[in-house]
Amino acid sequence: MGSLAVLAKSLGHRVTGSDANVYPPMSTQLEEAGIELIQGFDVAQLKPEPDLVVVGNAMTRGNPVVEAMLDQGLRYTSGPQWLRESVLQDKWVLAVAGTHGKTTTSSMLAWILESAGMSPGYLIGGIPKNFTQSARLGDTPFFVVEADEYDSAFFDKRSKFVHYGPRTLVLNNLEYDHADIFPDLAAIQRQFHHVVRTVPNNGLIVAPVDDSAIEEVLAEGCWTPIGRFTSLERGASQIPGLQWQARLINDDGSHFEVLFNGQIAGEVCWSQTGTHNVNNALAAAAAAHNVGVTAAISIDALNEFAGVKRRMECLGELAGVKVYDDFAHHPTAIKSTLAGLRKQVGAEKVIALIEPRSNTMRLGMHQDSLAQSVEDADCVLWYEPEGMNWSMQAVADASPVSAHCGHSIDGMVEATMAEVEGAESCHIVIMSNGGFGGIHSQLLSALSKRAQVNVGQ
């Protein structure tokens, strides 16, 4: 919604927005764009009456602003519908879908097109470091959009990506998620097949070679050519339709060869880690190739890719302790992120702080797989916020590594500082898809005080 607001402002509209809790980096971006942020949902914000209300999918019946909007007969629409009608018409839409990696892959793809001189428009759920904002209109027909499978609004239960009309569609991966609106994986696959149906036969669907859930979606019917990618090496040459492949030079994914149609096209050596990011890079290169970008240009751009805020973003290093901010909130994402870091740092201590904030996590749908997702950490601190309908203690008890549960931010910081003591080099990864109660700044402050004490001694 914040990215949509930026686009609406760029189109010349006066834009305001409200939420129950706004936090950086998106709140900072909106303020810099001159977009007024209103805390809470007081109906007074509808005076004077807006010409249009764009309703986010977190809004429900019973919300004061929603009820006032309906009672007053105001004109309203969903975010995805507004985007399709106001921005995406007559665009070559490159949509990036999947359970994991949408923001990062979209950012890579937009940067590749930018590096190719194509000045794309884009709408991304995070803030790419290669750009100054999370969205822009662009100067050409090409538009990159992060394509989410979550529903559109309380009055439109179709997945958001069904609205976008992509000509190039990336299907990065597919797992069960969003337990608050989808009863099972099959329900999500149905929505994925809906978007597959919208891709023209002169477009392209980019898909991995080893995702069974995506294969089941495509088996239901596909009318578009498929471009395949993989970071697997064993037996890759026998995979039908394989175009893009990676060969790891460093196990942590920070350096790899890119093969296009079986031929080495170049090497990527970058600051990203994890095989999940290698796959993201291949998917982005495959999508860019569909609009005429050569493998060589994509590889050059990926070498300059700076990452995305809140995706293993290093917030600071103090006296041998590095602190990272990461958006991971699903067991697979947690596992792949920690695995990439472990391969990068070797035996150095890794501490994970995790807030189970997403609706799926809070409902406990992934509790059986959470414990094993942190096996590459040395210690994990699980935050159990108010309102959880299950106890995190069972996850801590089943953990393959040292694990504790915290019930306050102050307590989490104190426990983390205790774990830091005695470690010559240490990496702290804060994982949440929300603000985590401001723990980032509190922890950095505590580490700064520690560093000053150590210097004084």
CA separation for the pair 116, 298 (Å, rounded): 8
Please list the residues that pair with 52 across neighbouring strands.
none
Please indicate, yes or no, if residue 308 is contained in any of the structural domains.
no
Model confidence over 319-345: pLDDT tens digits? 888 998 988 777 888 888 898 889 888
Q: Among residues 221, 224, 228, which one has the least CA distance to residue 201?
A: 224
Q: Is 192 found in the same domain as 43? A: no
Q: Is 441 found in the same domain as 346? A: yes
Q: Is 390 found in the same domain as 288? A: no
> To 10 degrees, what angle do helices 185-196 and 212-219 make?
50
Model confidence over 129-154: pLDDT tens digits? 999 899 999 999 999 999 999 999 99
State the residue for tokens 């026998």.
238
Please list the residues that pair with 228 across neighbouring strands.
207, 242
Share of the chain above pLDDT 70, in %: 95
Q: Is 433 found in the same domain as 332? A: yes
Could you tell me whether strands 204-208 and 142-146 are parallel, antiparallel, or unpaired per DSSP bridges? unpaired
Cα→Cα distances 349→26, 176, 303, 370, 402, Å:
31, 31, 28, 20, 12
- The domain in which residue 74 lies consists of 2-78
CA separation for the pair 152, 162 (Å, rounded): 9
Q: 294: exposed, middle or buried (C-beta count within 10 Å: 0-12, 13-18, 19+)?
A: middle
User: 361 falls in which pLDDT band (50, 70, 90)?
Assistant: low
Please indicate, yes or no, if residue 372 is contained in any of the structural domains.
yes
Q: Is 336 found in the same domain as 358? A: yes
Please indicate, yes or no, if residue 85 is contained in any of the structural domains.
yes
Stated pTM of the model = 0.80
User: 234 falls in which pLDDT band (50, 70, 90)?
Assistant: low
Picking from 274, 303, 332, the residue at the C-terminal end of a domain is: 303
Picking from 32, 61, 78, the residue at the C-terminal end of a domain is: 78
**HSE of 191, CA atoms in CB hemisphere, 13 A:** 28
Please indicate, yes or no, if residue 48 is contained in any of the structural domains.
yes
Cα→Cα distances 405→331, 387, 416, Å:
17, 15, 11
Q: CA-based diameter of the chain, in Å?
A: 69
CA separation for the pair 445, 283 (Å, rounded): 39
Residue 337: per-residue pLDDT: 86
CA separation for the pair 290, 202 (Å, rounded): 10
CATH number, domain containing residue 428: 3.90.190.20
Mean local confidence (pLDDT), 185-191: 94
Three-class secondary structure assignment of the chain: CHHHHHHHHHCCCCCEEEECCCCCCHHHHHHHCCCEEEECCCHHHHCCCCCCEEECCCCCCCCHHHHHHHHCCCCEEEHHHHHHHHHHCCCEEEEEECCCCHHHHHHHHHHHHHHCCCCCEEECCCCECCCCCCEECCCCCEEEEECCCCEEECCEEEEHHHHCCCCEEEECCCCCCCCCCCCCHHHHHHHHHHHHCCCCCCCEEEEECCCHHHHHHHHCCCCCCEEEEECCCCCHHHCCCEEEEEEECCCCCCEEEEEECCEEEEEEECCCCCHHHHHHHHHHHHHHHCCCCCHHHHHHHHHCCCCECCCCEEEEEECCEEEEEECCCCHHHHHHHHHHHHHHHCCCEEEEEECCCCHHHHCCCCHHHHHHHCCCCCEEEEECCCCCCCCCHHHHHCCCCEEEEECCHHHHHHHHHHHHCCCCCEEEEEECCCCHHHHHHHHHHHHHHHHHHHHHC
Please indicate, yes or no, if residue 338 is contained in any of the structural domains.
yes
Q: Is 120 found in the same domain as 105? A: yes
Structurally, the chain folds into a number of domains equal to 3
Residue 307: per-residue pLDDT: 86
Residue 390: per-residue pLDDT: 73
CB 279 within 8 A of CB 231: yes
Q: Is 350 found in the same domain as 281? A: no
Q: Is 356 found in the same domain as 319? A: yes
Q: Is the C-alpha dihedral spanning 327, 291, 243, 169 positive or negative? A: positive
Please list the residues that pair with 352 across neighbouring strands.
380, 429
Res. 197: pLDDT tops 90:
yes
CA separation for the pair 179, 138 (Å, rounded): 35
Peptide bond into 48 cis (omega under 30): yes
Model confidence over 399-449: pLDDT tens digits? 888 888 888 899 989 989 998 887 778 999 998 877 788 899 899 988 888
Q: Is 122 found in the same domain as 137? A: yes
Q: Is 329 found in the same domain as 191? A: no
Question: Which of the residue ranges 33-42, 172-181, 300-309 would you say has the lowest mean pLDDT?
Answer: 172-181
Picking from 57, 78, 99, the residue at the C-terminal end of a domain is: 78
Mean local confidence (pLDDT), 39-54: 94
CB 313 within 8 A of CB 324: yes
Q: Is the C-alpha dihedral spanning 35, 158, 208, 293 positive or negative? A: negative
State the residue for tokens 């991966």.
173
Q: Is 69 found in the same domain as 132? A: no
Q: Is 320 found in the same domain as 186? A: no
